[in-house]
Amino acid sequence: MSFWHRLFGKAAAAPAVLNRSPRIRLLLADGARFETEARAFPLLNISDTGLGLYAENDIPAGNLSGVLHLGDISLPIELEIVRQTGTLVGARIVGNPGVLRATLRQLFLEELRATEMNEVSARADEGEPGTPRWFYAAGNYELFFLEENGQVLRLEMEWSGRVVSARKGEAPRSGHLPKETRDKPGHAKATLVEWEGPISEEERAKAIRILENVPGLEPAVRGQLVALLRR
């Protein structure tokens, strides 16, 4: 039983069924890019079958060969340009996607799981202001936040045992839930999470990428959640 299910008493939701490879939204700050001999294109999104490139100028239709850079990993790939809308270029990956699929699961497992999150019914502690909203995917991938009068008051996130908390007017903090703690009944948030201190930049980037990939969040709400993490 997951942390937020124990804390807020929500019913678990079945994971979403995906009809195609999920497209992961990336941050320009991540530095992910597709590089040809002539130029480099920042990545806006990626799946094991295609990706979205940022290009200020038109690029030729047809195929492009180059190197995909994801963190410390570089993969030679061939792309077929299928469309360009403004600065967004859509491309299909030519060839066997096996290596790329394994790389994405190595680097972006939490972001992939975020695409499976469903919004389910939620309730907060009595006396706490705001309307609760809760998004869940199997395996302890969760997002909980409170909003009031169009303003997000606080958020809590969990992925792979990591917990991030952010509240309006306060700096975000992070901690973890040991496995043995996750399997025990919870009574209060403070007794479950071992808080470690301010959020690290690596955790901040991971949390923001997760937020960017949760389906069903209104753009204004998503923007406020990201803003809380950037404090």
pLDDT string in tens for the chain (231-residue length): 344 444 545 444 444 443 457 899 999 989 999 999 999 999 999 999 999 999 988 787 889 999 999 999 999 999 999 999 999 999 999 988 899 999 999 999 999 999 999 998 877 666 678 889 999 998 889 999 999 999 999 999 999 889 999 999 999 999 998 876 654 433 344 468 899 999 999 999 999 999 999 999 999 999 999 999 998
CA 113 – CA 99 distance, rounded (Å): 19
User: What is the pTM (predicted TM-score) of this model?
Assistant: 0.82
CB atoms within 10 A of CB 191: 10
Q: What is the pLDDT of residue 12?
A: 45
Q: Domain extents for the chain?
A: 3-15+116-229, 24-108
Domain 24-108 has CATH 1.10.3980.10: no
Asked if residues 41 and 28 have their Cβ atoms less than 8 Å apart, the reply is no
Q: What is the pLDDT of residue 48?
A: 94
CA 34 – CA 39 distance, rounded (Å): 9
Structure tokens at 1: 């039983």
Q: For residue 224, what are the CA distances in angstroms to 65, 103, 164, 191, 217?
A: 39, 31, 15, 28, 11
Q: What is the pLDDT of residue 110?
A: 95
Residue ranges of alpha helices (H) inside the chain are: 3-8, 98-107, 109-114, 179-182, 189-192, 201-213, 219-229
Q: Is 80 exposed, middle or buried (0-12, 13-18, 19+ CB in 10 A)?
A: middle
The residues with which 142 forms a beta bridge, in sequence order, are 136, 158
Q: What is the pLDDT of residue 160?
A: 87
